[in-house]
Amino acid sequence: MRYFLVLIPLALLPLLLNDFWVSQVLTRALILGVIALSLSFLATYLGVVSFAQVTLAGVAGYAVAYFGPNTVGLGFPLPLYVSLPIALLLSMAAGALIGLVARRSRGIYAIMITLAIGVAFFYFTRQNYALFNGFTGFSGVIAPKMGEGNWGDPMPLYFLALGVSVICVVLVNGFVRSPLGLAVQAVRDAPGRLLALGIPTTYPIVAAFAFSGLIAGSGGILNVWFQERVSSFSVGIGPIIDVLIISVIGGLRHPTGAFVGAIVYVMLDIFAIDLIDRDRFNLLIGIVLLAIVMAAPNGLHQLAIDWVGKLRGRAEQPRTN
């Protein structure tokens, strides 16, 4: 029931708002939220902070651009029912590969390995013209047709992004309760004990990364349809840090935290320049982000839950996650 209290207003919002709010704010936040969700998932349940989630989104995005319509005359156009599975399989395979490489590292070492992979992929897309079309990348990557219009129009894309977000949240919730998901959390809590029980840790880690690749890839495909383009800039260090910021300010405790972080980040990114002298708008963004991290060390999502708890009084308080 509680979920419908959120979903119904979200479904009605497009009726109240203009195209700009629907596409540039809400849709963009949902797409970034999906990509950040894949990072939150790994950080929360596997205990590994991965900087390569934008890379995974980029793999799926580039695949859709390469195997779909584009205006740069590169790639093989395939029907959607072939190109979409290819894109998602590629991002899952890339995720599994990264998991395999990073399986023995934790903490700062895992961060370094995944960051190195992300940056290497960025430079590779920038230099490679045969597959990635170098610096310029792919443009004119339009979403599939739907009746009169196109899935990339503001309303359809919003509902598509909303649907994908809901599916991803449900998938994550389901995954962490499954035996495999429990094994992933066991790897996080006590890898030594798991090994002592005779369960190898490699498979859960690779599976968790592959699953995060599926989520990040879904976000990556939506992002390409939203931007109608993909280039080396889409997988650069800027987006990598953006996604990390979104996960952190939203909070890692619950999958929906990523979406809260995303909406706050998108609004700041768009409107900070209106609120302050245009030479200094990044200063405002930085200060707000710093304030959020200091005031809400567990993220905005947890902060909001705490406030609601306080408002309801202490009677209902003793409930922990």
| Single residue of 164, 225, 256, 265 touching another protein by CB under 8 A | 256
Q: Which residues contact 196 (CB under 8 A, 6 or more apart)?
A: none
Residue 229: how many other CB atoms lie within 10 Å:
21
Nearest residue to 39 (alpha-carbon basis) of 246, 279, 266, 286? 246
Applying CB under 8 A, does 317 fall inside the site for another protein? no
Q: Which residues contact 49 (CB under 8 A, 6 or more apart)?
A: 39, 42, 43, 110, 111, 114, 244
Q: Which is nearer to another protein, 2 or 196 (CB)?
A: 2
| Single residue of 79, 238, 286, 297 touching another protein by CB under 8 A | 238
Applying CB under 8 A, does 159 fall inside the site for another protein? no
Applying CB under 8 A, does 105 fall inside the site for another protein? no
Q: Classify strands 138-139 and 229-230 as parallel, antiparallel or unpaired.
A: antiparallel
- Helical pair 257-275 and 281-295, crossing angle rounded to 10 deg: 150
Q: Which stretch binds another protein (CB under 8 A): 59-67, 186-194, 196-204, 225-233?
A: 225-233
| Single residue of 20, 170, 190, 287 touching another protein by CB under 8 A | 20
Q: Which is nearer to another protein, 5 or 197 (CB)?
A: 5
Q: What is the DSSP string of 118-186?
A: HHHHHHHHHH--SSS-TTT-EE--PPPEETTEETTSHHHHHHHHHHHHHHHHHHHHHHHHSHHHHHHHH
Q: Which stretch binds another protein (CB under 8 A): 4-12, 34-42, 76-84, 159-167?
A: 4-12
Q: Smallest distance, Å, CB 75 to another protein?
A: 17
Q: What is the DSSP string of 229-269?
A: EE-GGGGSHHHHHHHHHHHHHH-SSSTTHHHHHHHHHHHHH
Q: What whole-number distance in Å separates Cα of residue 101 and Cα of residue 83?
A: 27
Q: Which is nearer to another protein, 214 or 268 (CB)?
A: 268
Q: Rule CB under 8 A: which of 271-300 touch another protein?
A: 271, 273-274, 278-279, 281-282, 300
Applying CB under 8 A, does 71 fall inside the site for another protein? yes
Applying CB under 8 A, does 228 fall inside the site for another protein? yes
Applying CB under 8 A, does 23 fall inside the site for another protein? yes
Q: Which is nearer to another protein, 6 or 112 (CB)?
A: 6
Q: What is the DSSP string of 84-109?
A: HHHHHHHHHHHHHHHHHHHTT--HHH
Applying CB under 8 A, does 170 fall inside the site for another protein? no
| Single residue of 233, 253, 276, 284 touching another protein by CB under 8 A | 233
Applying CB under 8 A, does 303 fall inside the site for another protein? yes
Q: Smallest distance, Å, CB 10 to another protein?
A: 8
| Single residue of 183, 231, 244, 252 touching another protein by CB under 8 A | 231
DSSP state of 281: H
β-partners of residue 107 are: none
Residue 176 falls in which region: left (phi positive, over 0), alpha (psi -120 to 50) or beta: alpha
Distances (CA, A) of 88 to 12, 210, 216: 30, 10, 9
Q: Which is nearer to another protein, 166 or 186 (CB)?
A: 166
Q: Which is nearer to another protein, 82 or 275 (CB)?
A: 275
Nearest residue to 28 (alpha-carbon basis) of 253, 286, 264? 264
The footprint of another protein (CB under 8 A) covers: 2-3, 5-6, 9-10, 13, 16-21, 23-26, 28, 71, 123, 126-127, 129, 134-137, 139-140, 227-229, 231, 233-234, 236, 238, 256, 259-260, 263-264, 267, 270-271, 273-274, 278-279, 281-282, 300-301, 303-305, 307-308
